[in-house]
Amino acid sequence: MNIETWFLVIYFLAMAGIGVWTLKIGSKGSEGYLLGGRSLGAAVTALRLQSSSMSGYMFLGAGSLAYTKGYFSLWYAMGDIGGGVLNLSILGRRMRKLSQILGSLTSIEYLEHRYPSKWIRAIAAPVALFCIFFYVMSQFIAGGRGLEMVTGIPYAWALLIAVGVIVFYTFLGGYLAVAYTDFVQAIIMLIGMVWILIGCLQAVGGWTAGNETVGQINPNLLTMWGPDGIESVQWGVIVGAVLVFSIGYMGWPHVNVSHMAMKRPSVARRASLYATGFNLLFIPAPYIVGIMALILLPTLDNPELAVFEVADTVLPNFAVGIVMAGIMAAIMSTADALLLQSGTIASQDLFQRFFKKDMSDQQSVWVSRFTVLVLAIIGYFVAVNDPPAVAEVVIFSTTVLGAAFVPVYIAAAWWKKANVPGAIWSMIAGTVSSVVWQLTGLVDVTGVDPMGVGIVCSTLALILVSLATQRSHPVPAHVLEAMKETDKIGAIPAHMLTGQNDSLAGQVPKDV
Amino acid sequence: MSAEIGTGRPVGPDLQTEDPVRMDPHVTAAEALAVFQRKLPDALAEVQAVHHPFWWAALDVRTRGLFRRSASGPVQRMDVLVNALSGRGMIADFTPRGATAGSSEWSSLIGEQSGPPPTRDEAERTARSLARAKVVKTVKLGMGIDITPAGGLRGVLKPNWIVSGGNARHEATILVDGLDGSHYIVRADKAGRS
């Protein structure tokens, strides 16, 4: 076994260990399993949010984009850097407070409580489950491929190991395990990436010298307009890269659930500082490494391997092992969050809501665990027999998620006139328009991103339908009262909490 | 709408208190009913005022530096309530005020307990350790903490509401805290099952 493999083994064991540890400290019942008992502080919230939203794309896709398009790729980095902070600033505090007042445990249940109609969940849950399942499958494939690349073991076995480790700790500790492993994984990702960046800049003689050499290859690579210069810029793509990618995060249920698990609403403020720090250190690094790879590896066959090949070239063997652990961390932190979320949606939002309403807390946790296992098994067999292209699956599923859910999540927290018909039509319009735009090839014809089209359609549907149906479908008084309370800074008054106060158990008169 | 629940056994002199304070609720009966109806929409319910006995310990807390023998700095007053039946304590963010209740009412509520209720000493110890635990979190490591009682233990009757009723599908009984409006579900059944 080579030294890279040893690092991966240690890493896998550490992640599994966290799963076992959280099983011991984790609180019982649905709120404990699904939201970690709403106990997470700023650092864990921020890094969990960032690592689960970034996936293996940062190590594979970002390097590839920079290798082929130069500093043009930083438009995407800008979207990435802003995404987490925007999400925490716009949704964080309000979603935490509103979800607790309304007594919501999952991000889909939160939508149903804010827009009280069973149709909200009946539409949102299948859309989210479908997209998240494909997204998690793509992460399985990426994890299997990564492990195969490092260890040399056959893909089928590598995939089985990657899926096994992810399922193991998700299955055991629920949200708390996922949150803590994501936190550790974010740190490993950061260390791995910054290490490659430093080694890479040393190898090219510093950033200035590196830029001069890249300029000799093609001076346009040093500009933000792409390798063909400003004349060939697609402004629709640039606007899409900066705005759509940055706000797209706000529609991802597996990312938004972080807000609901915060210890207090005020944690959001400090978490956005941590998220900004993490993003500024981490996100530009793979892009810069990708650009400098043009000097170090001018004849690279597969640009997606730019970051890994640079690491292999400039770092000692043991460091390559840590970097590989970082890549696996990026993949696994996204996969576990997705897997837990899909299990949650299937058990809480579909099974319990529509089939077995009187399910106990413990039964619900077990159904969640069983669903995680079943989804992982199906995901494994699809991924091992006929694996689709990772990037295509990721882009498709995240596009639909963003288009369907961004306006309803934002309006849920901010717009008191957003009502049930508006939310239903917004989700339908976002899903249908983005899927149709993608499948009919309108992207190539118009040069406009399907997520942009989807978000415009879903936003317009939300605003127009909500305003048109204010009289027939007014927002319920208790939701308006909860939103008014959410406007205020400070603790939630006890009488507004939907959850019960267990300390009152000792005050129940004997005769009752 | 208001009644007392509790016809207990006689209690020993150690657990008697003179002039217990009967606190008035901050949450009205209508608000308690609204809490119930938020859990069970369109429910019809009846609201009943109840009181729960607590021991009230007013404590003065002072901190002192590592090398100083006497305490310095301002005195911090803490009002600690200890459940006179279960022995669990809580630090109150209010000073209990209200009319004086009869000691017979106190005795009857204490007598509800099937097992032995906590003694005065135990209640005092609970109050002191709770106050210490709270202060320890806010002072530097190694600082001393002096806790002196500002008077003896006094009985307090804390107000709560019992709300019972149901809608077409469910029946339930909940206890609503008379001071902050939080609630505890005592019983919940499908309609017609209970």
Domain ranges of chain A: 3-389
| pLDDT tens for each residue of A295-333 | 999 888 878 778 888 888 888 877 777 777 777 777 777
Rounded to a whole number, what is the distance in Å from the CA of B76 to chain A's nearest CA? 23
Q: Write the residue in A478, A497, A509 that is nearest to B182 by C-beta.
A: A497
Q: Does residue B117 fall inside a structural domain?
A: yes
Residues of B whose CB is below 8 A from A509: 5-6, 50, 52, 112, 162
- pLDDT exceeds 90 at position A349: no
pLDDT value at position A331?
79
| pLDDT tens for each residue of A337-348 | 788 777 778 777
> Between chains, do B5 and A497 touch, taking CB under 8 Å as contact?
no
Rounded to a whole number, what is the distance in Å from the CA of A116 to chain B's nearest CA? 13
Mean pLDDT of B161-189: 89
| pLDDT band, very low/low/confident/very high, at B1 (cuts 50, 70, 90) | very low
Tokens of A322: 């840590």
Nearest 10 degrees: CA dihedral of A422, A427, A433, A438? 160
pLDDT value at position A49?
74
CA distances A506 to A398, A449, B87, B127, Å, are 48, 58, 9, 17
Q: What percent of chain A has pLDDT over 70?
A: 90
Q: Does residue B4 fall inside a structural domain?
A: no
Q: Residues of A near B (CB-CB distance < 8 A)?
A: 478, 493-498, 500-512
Please count the residues of chain A: 512
What kind and span of H or E run contains A291? helix A284-296
Q: Write the residue in B114, B175, B187 that is nearest to A504 by C-beta.
A: B175
- pLDDT exceeds 60 at position A148: yes
More confident residue, A482 or A4: A482
Rounded to a whole number, what is the distance in Å from the CA of A466 to chain B's nearest CA? 24
Q: Does residue B107 fall inside a structural domain?
A: yes
More confident residue, A27 or A413: A413
More confident residue, A221 or B71: A221
Q: Does residue B1 fall inside a structural domain?
A: no
Residues of A whose CB is below 8 A from B185: 500
pTM equals: 0.71
- pLDDT exceeds 60 at position A489: yes
Q: Count of CB contacts below 8 A, A vs B?
A: 69
- pLDDT exceeds 50 at position B2: no
Distance CA A316, CA B169 (A): 68
- pLDDT exceeds 50 at position A175: yes
> Between chains, do A510 and B114 touch, taking CB under 8 Å as contact?
yes
Phi, psi (degrees; rounded to nearest 5) at A120: -60, -50
What is A3-389's CATH superfamily?
Answer: Sodium/glucose cotransporter (1.20.1730.10)
| pLDDT tens for each residue of B37-87 | 888 888 899 999 999 999 999 999 887 776 666 666 678 889 999 998 888
| pLDDT band, very low/low/confident/very high, at B5 (cuts 50, 70, 90) | very low
pLDDT value at position A509?
85
CA distances A28 to A34, A65, A94, A500, Å, are 10, 45, 26, 16
Say how many domains are in chain B. Answer: 1
| pLDDT tens for each residue of A417-461 | 999 999 999 999 999 999 998 888 887 777 777 888 898 999 999
More confident residue, A476 or B103: A476
**CB distance from B186 to chain A under 8 Å?**
yes
Rounded to a whole number, what is the distance in Å from the CA of A2 to chain B's nearest CA? 48
pLDDT value at position B70?
64
Q: What percent of chain B has pLDDT over 70?
A: 82
List of residues 6+ apart from B141 with CB closer than 8 A: none
Q: Does residue B8 fall inside a structural domain?
A: no
- pLDDT exceeds 90 at position A376: no
Lowest mean pLDDT across A85-99, A175-189, A397-411, B14-28: A175-189
More confident residue, A125 or A267: A125
| pLDDT band, very low/low/confident/very high, at B117 (cuts 50, 70, 90) | confident
| pLDDT band, very low/low/confident/very high, at A173 (cuts 50, 70, 90) | low
Mean pLDDT of B124-136: 86
CA distances B111 to A208, A235, B7, B159, Å, are 84, 79, 7, 18
| pLDDT tens for each residue of A73-89 | 888 888 878 887 888 88
pLDDT value at position B35?
87
Domain that holds residue B135: 13-190
Out of A36-40, A167-171, A206-210, A339-343, the most confident range is: A206-210
Distance CA A298, CA A217 (A): 10
Q: Does residue B2 fall inside a structural domain?
A: no
pLDDT value at position B49?
93
pLDDT value at position B7?
46
- On the CB side of A109, CA atoms within 13 Å amount to 26
Q: Strand (E) positions, A311-426?
A: none
